[in-house]
Amino acid sequence: MRRSSPLAVLRADLETGHEREKRPPSSGEAVVFPPLWQSVSRSLSCYMGRLSQLLRHALSVAALSACSNHGPTTPLCTFVYGGTEESWAIEATSDPYTPTPITVGERFAFRAVYLKRPRDTASFNLYVYAKHDSELVLLQQLKYRPPYPRAGSGSRDGFTGRQFLYTPEDRELEYWCEWRSR
Query: pLDDT tens, 87-140?
Result: 999 999 999 999 999 999 989 999 999 998 888 889 999 999 999 888 999 999
Distance of CA 58 to the CA centre of its chain: 14
Q: What confidence tier does 73 reach under pLDDT thresholds 50, 70, 90?
A: confident
Cβ-Cβ contacts under 8 Å for 105 (sequence gap 6 or more): 81, 82, 84, 171, 173
> Pairing relation of β-strands 84-89 and 102-104?
unpaired
The residues spanned by each domain of the chain are 6-68, 74-180
The amino acid sitting at 127 is Y
pLDDT of the residue at 144: 93
Q: What confidence tier does 50 reach under pLDDT thresholds 50, 70, 90?
A: low
> Closest Cα to residue 135, out of 101, 160, 173?
101
pLDDT of the residue at 155: 73
Query: pLDDT tens, 23-45?
Result: 555 666 665 556 665 666 666 66
